[in-house]
Structure 1
Amino acid sequence: MSRHPWVLATALAETKKPASDKSAETAPSNDEPAAGAPEANRISQQVDLLDHDGNWIARGLANPASRLRLRLYSFSRDQPIDDAFFAQRIDEAVARRRLARSTDHTGVQESGSKLAEMGERLIFSESDRLSGLIVDRYADCLSVQFTAAALLPRGKFLIDQVLNACEKHGTPCRRVIARMDPATAKHEGVAADQVAEVESWSRGISPAANGSDAATDDSSPMVWYRHNDLKMGIDLRDGQKTGGYLDQQANHAEAARYMAGKRVLDICTYTGGFALAAAKAGASEVIGVDSSEKALEMARQNAEANSLSQVRFEKADCFDHLKNCAGRGETFDAVVLDPPRFAGSRRQVDAALRAYARLNMSAVDLLPPGGILVTCSCSGHVSRADFLNMLVDVGRKRQRDIVILQSRGPSPDHPCAVSCPESDYLKCVIAQVH
């Protein structure tokens, strides 16, 4: 047994109630579905997984409405999945970040006040043995994202436990925004009224905020936090993922070390992560490109908040912009590529690799000999080996030598569970092109 936390519906012979032996029995909590409830409502039913010979394997929570039928949380037969179980797992996850955050990316010890202003991932679903729960902290605000319907009956309890753990480990939070995105809700069989209930668990965040109040209203979904050496703002309600891309935080800082004095093009800049870091590090000119005007407006606010005048942002399709730059004969000393996920499933890997190759070839065309290429992939189904082989093909087709300076992953607050290879998803390659 690999201890992978997912069991697909196609892998099950049949779904049964938890085993009746005493070691598997647990006292139902108040938020568990009542016995005899309709099958469609028995999300969060505790289930024991047995092999074909009846041998006990693991214990998890079932969702009869999801293709991902069973999420496994315990591989110990004597361990019930109850409130105490989740409270302990949450505490362990937040404590784990204190190990990773004992020093910053320069190796300098961080003070408590400095840590409290930062952004960090506190719970990373499968990597923290809490499949279906993602929690990011932006200064004093928690952004909680549920990706498993099986956790919703305990949703408010889980949020309370995260707040308790934050207080215990030195980063108290007073605001919470809770979310479940529409695509996830559809896959998990969660109705619109249930999604609205999840959103109602938010605390200290106004139900709506207009643009003029977003930067000053303490209850708005707009929050400011310290991102490396930058003051960064994000929209917790309408932003992508949990609002920002904390997984790239260390890569923003590391890539910026190569950007001093350079003309930089940042493709798929979102709210300006790589672009602003490059400008802060002394790049002579930075152009950030994204297809979302809303994201670019946030990027412009971030640039202004940090007094970075040598960076500007343009709305465009990434492929079209690279093509147009080549058509004008433009060159850049450095090009950053941080596109959205191209492969959402294994069936899409080949198409994703073709898209990555096309994007990287267009970027290489804009670089003079010795230019810097920072290229990323957040597609978990695209392996690091496949991504590097794609770069080999790019170099061959463009007759350029690509020398890898660093091959990186996500920030330390995004650990990888070896039993769940999908958690090893982010690739960030810093290379020199000749």
Structure 2
Amino acid sequence: MKVFLKKDIKNRIKNGHPWIYENEIERIEGIPENGGIVDVFNHEKSFLGKGYINFNSKIRVRILTRKAETIGKNFIKKRFLEALERRHTKEKSFRVIFSEADNLSGLIVDKFQDYIVLEINTLGIEKLKNHILDVIIELFNPKGIFEKSDSNSREKEGLKKYSGWIYKSGPELIPFELNDLKFFADTQGQKTGAFLDQRLNVKSLERYSKDKVCLDAFCYTGNFGMHMLLYGAKYVTFLDYSQRAIDIVNLIAKENGFKNYETIVGNAFDILKQFDKTSKYFDVVSIDPPSFAKKGSNKKSALKGYKEINLRAMRILKNHGILATSSCTQIISEEEFDNIIFSAGIDTSRITRVMHRGAQPYDHPYVLNILETKYLKFRLLEIEKIKE
């Protein structure tokens, strides 16, 4: 089956971006199976690549390769081996496949010690699922493979959400270690169960946590706070809206032998405002909220939300306190995020001194040709009052 693009296709496609939208296609020769593999050509009938097609999606074709090669098990294995070579790691827990960044648009694969959790977001990858499983089993011989395909994007692709063990079985809470700490990936929790993308950024707190009173807001299962305790924090408050997440925080703290902490279930915006009213201040505050917007139409409200939460965090920091602040909202740029922090500092009469800039780790690579692969922004700041 052949897909021919319009004459004036955008440079985005020619320069390596894998997405082809419905309005960029001139014609289709043959009747391809929905989710099946098609050859893609430009207006002059020059071969551009091969990918899968989905008539349910505005992203009509996602290119998997720029070569005239067969898309099957050997191809999938090649992509996995390329990704492993790219990571070149001896870590036991890391992201194996990061969708477009590893030339497998629609697939996420995380390795937690001896278990694999995968997320399939597109019909085309669903059609290749058996090949993917065969390759994972061959390369990793895992104790179990859990599929966590429950994102809303599946519905747009014409797929039902699914969550469950698809190879052997394992615990509901998958144990793994990170930076000398014991954690659990929650198969009933967010995304693939645990976030691996902040594990290098949290290390920047090592020199600032000892003997400090700390807050981990939007903590989920406590990544930042557990590291603060590891680095010698005097006391840590964990805050999240999810009771289940806080229950797992308690379990992780017990596994690591930590006792000098407390947990709060509630809305971080409200709780931080309450801390300010009651003059409860911290030496170190981490805020790592979920994405505030997926679509450009929601960007304005996302910018407002980030400013508000950073402003409230600054207000409850002691003078010269440390703020670890993050954004995983892809549509907000680095410059916009810095401007948000600057603006919050101005409104609270604070100087915001950048001590460390962080982003995605090596196993979450981003491709400059594919803007959508770059999402994580991290800043470690010293917050100083302009006037005492």
- Per the normalisation by structure 1, the TM-score is 0.82
C-alpha contact 1:256 1:274 (8 A) present in aligned 2: no
C-alpha contact 1:262 1:284 (8 A) present in aligned 2: yes
**Secondary structure of 2:100's aligned partner:** helix
Q: Give 1:144 shift.
A: 0.8
Q: Give 1:14 shift.
A: 3.4
C-alpha contact 2:282 2:316 (8 A) present in aligned 1: yes
The counterpart of 1:67, out of the listed 35, 40, 58, is 58
How far apart, CA to CA, are the structure 2 residues paired with 1:273 and 1:200?
24
- Verify: 1:388 aligned to 2:362, yes or no: no
Q: In structure 2, what is the equivalent of residue 43 of structure 1?
A: 34
1:165-184 CA distance string (max 9 Å, x none): 23xxxxx4221101311512
- Verify: 1:186 aligned to 2:151, yes or no: no
C-alpha contact 2:94 2:110 (8 A) present in aligned 1: yes
Q: After superposition, where does 1:173-322 map in structure 2 within 5 Å?
A: 173-190=142-159, 192=160, 195-196=161-162, 199=163, 202-205=166-169, 219-236=170-187, 238-322=188-272
Q: In structure 1, what is the equivalent of residue 7 of structure 2?
A: none
1:305-346 CA distance string (max 9 Å, x none): 001111221101010011100010111111111000012012
C-alpha contact 1:146 1:152 (8 A) present in aligned 2: yes
C-alpha contact 2:253 2:259 (8 A) present in aligned 1: yes
Q: In structure 1, what is the equivalent of residue 15 of structure 2?
A: 2
- Verify: 1:12 aligned to 2:3, yes or no: no
Q: Give 1:282 shift.
A: 0.6
- Per the normalisation by structure 2, the TM-score is 0.91
C-alpha contact 2:73 2:135 (8 A) present in aligned 1: no
How far apart, CA to CA, are the structure 1 residues paired with 2:46 and 2:340?
44
C-alpha contact 2:72 2:131 (8 A) present in aligned 1: no
Q: In structure 2, what is the equivalent of residue 169 of structure 1?
A: none
Q: Give 1:408 shift.
A: 0.3
Change (3 A) 1:221 1:14: farther
1:330 maps to a residue whose letter is K
How far apart, CA to CA, are the structure 1 residues paired with 2:29 and 2:264?
55
1:92 maps to a residue whose letter is E
Q: Give 1:302 shift.
A: 0.1
1:363 maps to a residue whose letter is A
- Verify: 1:163 aligned to 2:137, yes or no: yes
How far apart, CA to CA, are the structure 2 residues paired with 1:58 and 1:160?
25
Tell which deviates more after alignment, 391-400 or 141-150. Answer: 391-400
Q: In structure 2, what is the equivalent of residue 120 of structure 1?
A: 94
Q: In structure 1, what is the equivalent of residue 10 of structure 2?
A: none
Uncovered stretches (5+) of structure 1, i.e. residues with no partner: 18-35, 103-114, 167-171, 206-218
**Secondary structure of 2:152's aligned partner:** helix
Q: In structure 1, what is the equivalent of residue 284 of structure 2?
A: 334
**Secondary structure of 2:253's aligned partner:** helix
1:87 maps to a residue whose letter is K
Tell which deviates more after alignment, 221-230 or 8-17. Answer: 8-17
C-alpha contact 1:94 1:165 (8 A) present in aligned 2: no
Q: In structure 1, what is the equivalent of residue 366 of structure 2?
A: 416
Change (3 A) 1:200 1:324: closer
How far apart, CA to CA, are the structure 2 residues paired with 1:255 and 1:55?
52
1:60 maps to a residue whose letter is G
* Aligned alpha-carbon RMSD (Å): 1.7
Q: In structure 1, what is the equivalent of residue 47 of structure 2?
A: 56
Q: Give 1:432 shift.
A: 0.4
**Secondary structure of 1:203's aligned partner:** strand
Aligned sequence identity (%): 28
Uncovered stretches (5+) of structure 2, i.e. residues with no partner: 1-13
Aligned length: 371
C-alpha contact 2:72 2:128 (8 A) present in aligned 1: no
1:213-241 CA distance string (max 9 Å, x none): xxxxxx322211101110111222x1111
**Secondary structure of 1:339's aligned partner:** coil
Q: Give 1:421 shift.
A: 1.5
Q: Give 1:119 shift.
A: 1.8
Q: Give 1:200 shift.
A: 6.3
How far apart, CA to CA, are the structure 2 residues paired with 1:179 and 1:173?
16
Q: In structure 1, what is the equivalent of residue 79 of structure 2?
A: 89
- Verify: 1:364 aligned to 2:314, yes or no: yes
Q: Give 1:417 shift.
A: 1.7
Q: In structure 2, what is the equivalent of residue 355 of structure 1?
A: 305
How far apart, CA to CA, are the structure 1 residues paired with 2:26 and 2:211?
62
